[in-house]
Structure 1
Amino acid sequence: MSHPASDPRTVLPPGIVNLADHETHAATHLEPGAWAYFNGAAADEITLAANRHAWDRMGLLPRVLRPLASGHTRVELLGRTLAHPILLAPMAYQRMAHPDGELGAAYAAAALGAGMVLSTQASTRLEVVANAIRDDVGRGPLWFQLYLQHDRDFTRELVERAERAGYEALVLTVDAPCHGARDRERRAGFRLPTGITAVNLLGMLPAPEVPLAPGQSALFDGLLHHAPTWADVQWLQSITRLPVLLKGVLHPDDAREATNLGVAGIIVSNHGGRTLDTTPATATQLPHVVEAVRAVSAAMPVLVDGGIRRGTDVLKAMALGASAVLVGRPAVHGLANAGAAGVAHVLRLLRDELEIAMALTGCATLADASPALLVPR
């Protein structure tokens, strides 16, 4: 597998032994605006902190003298066997972190057998990413994240492009009908650098302006006229042959609604704390969503993201009923530090730590992980 060597940051800096180290080093590479964009969240960033703390509040109860030989981290997901349950979450504008951007992340994911979800707002064309790794027999699943655009014809064309390029599923983000109040970005005066844009959205017509009367809200009387609803989920399902997963579900009632609509999967997510501050941590809501889904479907996968920084977090998520996990910011930190090699190192660390945690809790496979592993701290 070739690597696109377009930046001197292709060798991992010394002294990085965990994901926290990656974050510390990445802060020295990223411009202040890019750092605020990638690492910031909404308002007081309470949810951002809560996502991390929720995993820390759970302890793992060791088991001893259990048979562990021939154990593995494999899982089944949407008809595929994955080497491990770790996927790269969709993250926009990755070329702000490193010139190789999404392409470097894709090479790393393929090399480590990880799934990748490409953002609608990627700074690399979706066809370029797919062509780079589509034929790699060892890669994980390749999914395309979608925001439903105001222009339904453009959305249809985008879906058709993803299908032709070889993406295997669509991940519809449903928790961001508007941006959050991102104070850190505003303080930093964040603007996209010259030459970086959402290339997959080029050519889309601007949303028609909604005339506002005095006293009307630009949000409720303007932007939200184009916000998607459950009917739009059904429309998306009707125009694609790809499975559709919903990302951004926290409420059990929404999980039940999605399951009744026959979506292919649910991703428990609060958008990394970037939309509504003070929402519950994803680790807190995961078991409630799993319970709601299992009441309707025993087979539908439930994934989770938000605050995962250790292999122990991955095991805790699986013990709570997750089918797999997604990581976002750590991958961008690795990308900033060493391009594809940095992302690969992040994934390798998580998998190695997951195996260690499994061995020390007596789990030969992830099917052995259950809530009985977890204790409050």
Structure 2
Amino acid sequence: MSPATGRIPPDVASLADYERHALQRLDAARVAWLQGGAADGLTVQANQRAWQGLPLQPRVLRPLAHGHTRIERPGLRLPHPIMLAPVAYLRLVHPDGELATAMAAAAQGAGLVLSTQASVPMERVAELVLGEAERGPLWFQLYAMAQREHTLQLVQRAEAAGFEALVLTVDAPVQGARDAERRAGFRLPADVRAVNLQGLALPGMAAADAAAPGLAAGLCGGLLAHAPTWSDIAWLKAHTRLPLWLKGITHPLDAQQAQALGVDGLIVSNHGGRVLDTMPATAALLPAVRQAVGPEWPVLVDGGIRRGTDVLKALALGADAVLVGRPHVHALAVAGALGVAHAIRLLRDEFEIALALTGCATPAEVSSAVLSSAVLTSAERGG
């Protein structure tokens, strides 16, 4: 792996350029970990193509003075609708890992969701950025542990450190079939590990021989014996003072059940195509979820966001904001904190341009009207 230079290459003008440079710097095993998806990678490909396939239909001569990018609604206030999705083990691509990413997010006012499997302690990340006046939200992504007391330990640490919300990932009770990683022989190096999980049992992430005795004949070698259920959501709500979001909701009925349990918001996500292959793209899943929970409940989306026009389209389909995953890792691998900050700025600039060119002065003015009616009909059907 070639080290990041701390300088932005002169030919970087988009997130795709960061991706190109990152793939040249990283070794084959790290590329397989970062770029690969489950099985044949069809959902990975579908995510990005779906946004690209939604044509915009702009209005002209609209009043654009006093425009802004702010998202202002109960439970969600952002300077712009761009957040960084949780990604594990960022020290795989840069020695500063999550610290560099957190600094960049704070500098650009982007919300950050720190992964449970971060390669630096959560307390160090929070201490680094909580004092930054112009930063976006700082949230902690959570996996349910095999034992509730272990989950509670993480929750209490996040609360004490100053994180402002919990994001429980619900779509990965076991890992997906990561063919690309297996072919490349990917293994974590000795100096990179999930430091926040020392001594804790994470369902679905351990080897099958670590399953509970007598359960080897169960699904996935018994690893699902402690997989979370809706009762765990109710328990978690009762044991934290932080807002609770669910990440990985794609079915309207699940969205309504989460809403009924008093969850504070949800993230429409197919885990970047890394868990269950052949799932539909999130752009196709988003409209039905939004319709299921109504217009006021906070909904975010991730998966395949690469352009400011993608951010605009996500808002048009019902999201309040987006999260980007792989792109911020590409930028981190190329130029460290400076690269991540630049990548966020590129995406925000493109979003502002898209707002103006579709006749919208603010995110609140974005509606389905900015999309071609023929394609919108297909998207609303989940096609």
Query: Which category describes the TM-score, using the shorter chain as reference length?
Result: over 0.9
What's 2:350 paired with? 353
CA distance in 1: counterparts of 2:250 and 2:4, whole angstroms: 41
Cα 1:225/1:100, change in 2 over 3 Å:
same
- The answer as to whether partners of 1:212 and 1:218 remain within 8 angstroms in 2 is no
Counterpart position of 1:49: 45
Query: In 2, distance between residues paired with 1:299 and 1:327?
Result: 23
Question: Residue 68 in 1 paired to residue 64 in 2?
Answer: yes
Report the Cα distance in structure 2 between the residues aligned to 1:275 and 1:314, rounded to whole angstroms.
Answer: 23
Aligned mates of 2:145, 2:73 — CA distance in 1: 28
1:340 aligns with 2:337: yes
**Would you say the 8 A contact 1:358–1:364 is kept in 2?**
yes
Matched letter for residue 211 of structure 1: P
Matched to 1:55, the amino acid is W
Deviation at 1:78, TM superposition (A): 5.0
For the 8 Å contact 2:38–2:274, the answer to whether it is kept is yes
1:290 is matched with 290
Aligned to 2:237: 237
Inter-partner Cα distance in structure 2 for 1:107 and 1:288: 35
Equivalent residue for 1:210, pick from 212, 215, 228: 212
- The question of 1:308 aligning with 2:305 is answered yes
Which residue is 1:3 aligned to? Answer: none
- Supply the AA of the counterpart residue of 1:304: V
Check the 8 A contact 1:75/1:81 in 2, yes or no: yes
Partner of 2:319: 322
Deviation for aligned residue 1:204:
2.0
TM-score normalised per structure 1: 0.94
Structure-2 residue corresponding to 1:278: 278
Q: How far has the Cα of 1:14 moved from its partner? A: 1.6
Superimposed CA distance per residue, residues 164-193 of structure 1 (whole angstroms, 9 cap, x where no aligned partner)? 100000000000000100110010000001
Counterpart contact for 1:54–1:281, Cα < 8 Å: yes
Partner Cα separation in structure 2 for residue 159 and residue 77 of structure 1: 25
- In the alignment, does 2:11 pair up with 1:15? yes
The alignment covers a number of residue pairs equal to 366
Give the aligned residue type for 1:337.
V
Q: Is the 8 A contact 2:43 2:277 kept in 1?
A: yes
Q: Aligned partners of 2:288 and 2:138: how far apart in 1?
A: 28
Which residue of structure 2 lines up, in the alignment, with residue 4 of structure 1?
none
1:157 and 2:159 correspond: no
The Cα shift of 1:76 comes to 1.9
Distance (whole Å) between structure 1 residues aligned to residue 181 and residue 72 of structure 2: 38
**Shift of the alpha carbon at 1:206?**
7.8
Kindly indicate whether residue 95 of structure 2 is the aligned counterpart of residue 110 of structure 1.
Answer: no
The corresponding residue for 2:380 is: none
Q: SS of the residue aligned with 2:238?
A: helix
Question: 1:369 is aligned with what amino acid?
Answer: V
> 2:51 is matched by which residue type in structure 1?
W
- Asked if structure 1 preserves the Cα contact closer than 8 Å seen for 2:145 and 2:201, the reply is no
Q: Give the direction of change, closer, same or farther, for the CA distance of 1:198–1:77 in structure 2 (3 Å limit).
A: farther
Aligned equivalent of 2:190: 194
1:107 and 1:132 in contact (8 A); partners too: yes
Q: Shift of the alpha carbon at 1:203? A: 2.2
1:213 Cα shift?
7.5
Q: What are the equivalent positions in structure 2 for 1:251-262 lying under 5 Å apart?
A: 251-262=251-262
Do residues 29 (structure 1) and 25 (structure 2) align?
Answer: yes
Please give the secondary structure, in 1, of the residue aligned with 2:236: helix
* Unmatched tracts of structure 2, length 5 or more: 204-209, 376-383
- Could you state the TM-score of these two structures normalised by the residue count of structure 2? 0.93
Aligned residue in 2 for 1:84: 80
| 1:79 CA drift (Å) | 4.0
Report the equivalent of 1:246: 246
Secondary structure in 2 matching 1:59: coil
Q: Give the equivalent residue in structure 1 for 2:371.
A: 374
Q: Are 2:132 and 1:140 aligned?
A: no
Q: Distance in 2 between matches of 1:213 and 1:17?
A: 52
Q: Does structure 1 conserve the Cα–Cα contact (< 8 Å) formed by 2:4 and 2:334?
A: no
Q: Any idea what SS the aligned residue of 1:27 has?
A: helix
Match of 2:177 in 1: 181
Question: Structure 1 stretch 151-160 or stretch 141-150: which is displaced more?
Answer: 151-160
- 1: distance between equivalents of 2:244 and 2:215? 38
Quote the RMSD (CA, aligned, Å): 1.5
Distance 1:99 1:250, change over 3 A: same
- Confirm or deny that 1:101 pairs with 2:104: no
User: Is contact 2:144–2:202 with CA below 8 Å preserved after alignment?
Assistant: no
Cα gap change, 1:106 to 1:77, in 2 (>3 Å)? farther
